[in-house]
Amino acid sequence: MRASDLSHHVSKWFDGSGPGADIVISSRIRLARNLAGYEFLPCLTTRRQAEVMEKLTKALLSLELGEAVFFIDVDASSALEQDVLVERHLISRQHARSKGPRGAVIAPSESFTAMINEEDHLRIQVFKTGLQLRECWQQIDRIDSCIEEKVDYAFDPGYGYLTACPTNVGTGIRVSVMVHLPALKMTGQIDKFFNAARDSDLMVRGLFGEGTEAVGDFFQVSNQVTLGVSEEQIVDEFVDLIVPKITQYEAMAREVLLNQQSDAVDDKIQRALGVLRSARLISSQEALFLLSHVRLGINLGRVDGISIDAVNELFMLTQPAHLQMNSGGALDADHRDAMRAKMIRSKLCVN
Amino acid sequence: MRASDLSHHVSKWFDGSGPGADIVISSRIRLARNLAGYEFLPCLTTRRQAEVMEKLTKALLSLELGEAVFFIDVDASSALEQDVLVERHLISRQHARSKGPRGAVIAPSESFTAMINEEDHLRIQVFKTGLQLRECWQQIDRIDSCIEEKVDYAFDPGYGYLTACPTNVGTGIRVSVMVHLPALKMTGQIDKFFNAARDSDLMVRGLFGEGTEAVGDFFQVSNQVTLGVSEEQIVDEFVDLIVPKITQYEAMAREVLLNQQSDAVDDKIQRALGVLRSARLISSQEALFLLSHVRLGINLGRVDGISIDAVNELFMLTQPAHLQMNSGGALDADHRDAMRAKMIRSKLCVN
């Protein structure tokens, strides 16, 4: 299985089918682990990096997840293949553009992915659609134990799991939800969300695009503290406190839009749809921005005849690397913009 | 006949039917005249201003133009009625908002209009669709002579016709064409046009909207010199030199768009149409801007199923005063924007 086999469809975690997925797109838990007896990256020699990869790949490929996981040699992959994996959140941009022996082990459903020799020797992730953090935790905890039966993790009785960066030490856990907050953005209340997140020691990043910018009103909210609290405590705080608060903010903002600014919100939604159905050239940033409004429109019941599936598919497949992979190779920006516009029209236009 | 009787349809001069009207929307000639024995405005007392109005109205109402002209008491008109006349280019904004006895005499076809007690005692104008400046001149010269048979114009054998502002003295003529130059704008060459106009002592102003801004790529090009040249010379220069040059510039820019930037121009045109067909709120400025692109699209053969008539109608009837007059009274900006969007959708949408 290769990146090109994944690039034709939407990742399961983004399909909008999970609980509360009109606001909480997906849940993700990541664990950072390192092998005992090996230096942290980047102090690891290439030869020893290859040894780490061999050991971990073997352990990961023997996992029994109900589907056969597959290995991708990231170092041997083309830039386009790497970018497809990045756009699907299966590997990090840092992992894609790094050097030396490194790989990924991925479940075809994309509910599980592991990066080998990224910042740590091993980073495993479980994704689920909607708010399913407890389910993510149960699954990743089981996977982690299975791996630990086959390899020796670097572990300190005082600190817990040891990691390359001290911010991950202890549990090595990162719990995150991807949320869609277009109404908070439209009503000018997004700062309220940012402030509340900062006060709770949460990190907020954009879901799509490079860096931390949040294109299309998608945000990734994650914990920053990994030491001194148990994994269950972190998950419970997300499920019982943080996510309900974010969801409530956004839901209230949607109510305000519907009840007090229905002309303005319909205008934004319909214009977005009008431009998507008409444009002959469209950048990925603009497409995300407009699709975000259409997604809101569908969730508010203000758009007829377009499924959330169609919109989710466009979110994912109009990304630059997906677009190029699915059209057979590298394209310059102008051609990508033309092809993206064509794909969107064919998906959203009636005729 | 009243302003409200005019407000439902497009002025003849804007109907796009004249020669070369894909670029030269319309032709206009205006003459400035004053009565002998009366002070110029604003030195004229209200009583004597009323006398001037009475004399001129009488002379104008007896004109035989093949249609019965009608009088509008501008001072007694509501602001909305005045604004409809301004939006139709039948009176100036200055005339609408001035004080004291003043009026307009208008032909129902709107090919002829006279302002009484604007900057001069009398300003008569003839409008025609497309490039028809010679025809405008023949008609206005004849009308001017008919009026002169009934009143005494202030005339000096050395200077010619005397006017309130020295820039009009001599012939008192202003010759102008309204041109649509979207391709020069899109290709970034509009400055070439401005520079050429300035070098030829021409004045360029916007056609729609207040002030001199050119919304929707419509420009009004007129002469500045009125002294020392004959009316025929000015008209000839426009018809033989100025207008062909402008038309050639724009036509070449349209060729460039079609041949070298067809994706980009189709994108602009289709986006404009998409937004016009989708928006729930739209300002008059944005409507003009987008309709201008659609007009270009029709003239380039890139838009199917929409007539130039429909677009011209929208240009005129979506203006703020027209919109309010046709919906029965004053509306705030939000309601105007909603009503404008609705009118545009009903005109441009298939279903």
Q: Which CATH superfamily is domain B3-254 in?
A: Glutamine synthetase/guanido kinase, catalytic domain (3.30.590.10)
Q: With contact defined as beta carbons under 8 Å apart, do B118 and B95 qualify?
A: yes
pLDDT of B210 higher than 50: no
Q: Do A263 and B280 touch (CB under 8 A)?
A: yes
Nearest CB to B263: which of A264, A278, A281? Answer: A281
Model-wide pTM > 0.80: yes
Interface pTM (ipTM) of the complex? 0.86
Q: B328 falls in which pLDDT band (50, 70, 90)?
A: confident
- Whether the CB-CB separation of A317 and A347 falls below 8 Å is answered with no
pLDDT at position B140 is 98
| B127 in Cβ contact with B12 (< 8 Å) | yes
Q: How far is A223 from chain B (nearest CA, A)?
A: 40
Which tokens go with B193? 């046009």
B281 chain-A contacts, CB cut-off 8 A:
263-264, 267
Give residue-wise pLDDT tens across range A203-219: 988 765 445 456 778 99
In total, the C-beta contacts within 8 angstroms joining chain A to chain B are: 50
d(CA B182, CA B292): 7
For residues B54 and B72, what is the distance between their CA atoms, to the nearest angstrom?
Answer: 12
Predicted pLDDT at A210: 47
Q: Characterize the bridge pairing of strands B173-180 and B155-156.
A: unpaired
B33 bridge partner residues: B122
Closest CA to B125 of B62, B31, B208, B52: B31
Residue with the larger pLDDT of the pair A265 and A228: A265
**Chain segment A74-112, per-residue pLDDT in tens:** 999 999 999 999 999 999 999 999 999 999 999 999 999
pLDDT for the residue numbered A13? 86
Rounded to whole angstroms, the Cα distance separating A86 from A93 reads 6
Q: Residues of chain B whose C-beta is under 8 A from some C-beta in A?
A: 263-264, 266-267, 270-271, 273-275, 277-281, 334, 338, 341
Q: Per-residue confidence at B209, pLDDT binned at 50, 70, 90?
A: very low
Residues of A with CB under 8 A from a CB of B: 263-264, 266-267, 270-271, 273-275, 277-281, 334, 338, 341
DSSP A219-247: EEEEE---SSS-HHHHHHHIIIIIHHHHH
CA-wise closest residue to B126 among B147, B110, B112, B141: B112
Residue of chain B minimizing CA distance to A266: B280
B280, A273: Cβ pair inside 8 Å?
no
Q: Span A296-316, mean pLDDT? A: 93
SS3 A289: helix
The half-sphere exposure of A129 on its side-chain side, counting CA atoms within 13 A, is 15
CB contact under 8 A, B274 and A274: yes
- In this structure, the dihedral spanned by the alpha carbons of residues B188, B192, B194 and B198, taken in order and rounded to 10 degrees, is 170
What are the boundaries of each domain within chain A? 3-254, 262-347
* Residue A328 pLDDT level (bands cut at 50, 70, 90): confident
Residue B231 is predicted with a pLDDT of: 94
